[in-house]
Structure 1
Amino acid sequence: MIILVCPGFNQAELNHSFINAFPNQDEHWLLYPSHQLPPYSPQDILDFCSKSLPKSNMTLEVILIGFSAGVVGIQSVATRLDKNQVKVKALIAIDGWGVPLWGDFPTYRISHDYFTHWSSTILGAGNESFYADPPVDHLQLWRSPQTTKGWKVNNNGSKIATTALKFIEEILESYRDNY
């Protein structure tokens, strides 16, 4: 399974900190170089994908993770990728406040506080969501998902205490089983 990560405007070290937080590194992680190219640019992300995704006659299956301004770019790219021999399995939007989520694939929203979570639901709550409680700094959520505690919110509104890392891992695991 390929996981394409599109960060926002932040230090590159934070991106590596985010990826290294995941204990299971069996997947092929692709990190978009947002420190060199604009994370909100669908064309730059598509160009990166065409150079970086493995060449295959078979349809590739990809999970997309966007953070902050990277959510703008990755959401725009998602529907285009889905038509070019790349099957988008899911999109995980981390602190993509103000960005609508849509597509023919499951979407998940993660927020650094309850207000961001609540105010983003009108733009697409996603299949499930997570918000930090207590609230954390925007960059702390990205740098340290393993220490960001909060609530997983299911479709029916029920809440389960967890961390941002466990929430994302649970999503990834559900697609590993179907891979």
Structure 2
Amino acid sequence: MLQNHLKHYQIILASQSPRRAELLKQLGLDFSLDCKSVEEIYPKGLKNKEIAIYLSQLKASPFQKEVRNTNKLVITSDTIVCLGNEVLGKPTDRNDAINMLKKLSGKLHEVITGVSLTSSNKQKSFAVATQVFFKTLPITEIEYYVDNFEPYDKAGAYGIQEWIGMTGIEKIEGSYFNVVGLPLQKLYMELMKF
């Protein structure tokens, strides 16, 4: 259904995340992958959702010339983890990953994904937030996860679909898929309106 609605577009997912590619496939879309690297720095003073939207637009900026006068539709996104006013990005090393998970232990945090849809004549950006509640995580569980799974390519040093998510997350309020990397329900609605 969505693919038929967007049949006039050549869809590009600008992401190296295998999780995002899998989620987009599950929406029934045909797309290609093309990721251009940008330095993910945002201006001071932006609030949580503003940061995620800014970063998704920043990732779209290298495609501006490429999409001009074409039928290309580029999907860019960025997921951040917010603990109060602190933004947790991807961990730099083992200690950083352990420290992030210690901070999240026993607390509520917010996972926000900003998405930008960019074509030759318009750009639509939005952000979706999900509340995530972690149980108190023993250090042994944190170290087991960091040493046996892949925390380094994930904001907040965890994947909800991995072991720590299955054993450590007590509940979520909002979109599960948003925490995985793409807010599918909102993305579907916006693509149907694009």
Q: What range is the shorter-chain TM-score in?
A: 0.3 to 0.5
Larger helix fraction of residues? 2
TM-score by length of 2: 0.34
TM-score by length of 1: 0.36
- Which one scores higher on RCO, CA 8 angstroms, separation ≥ 6? 2
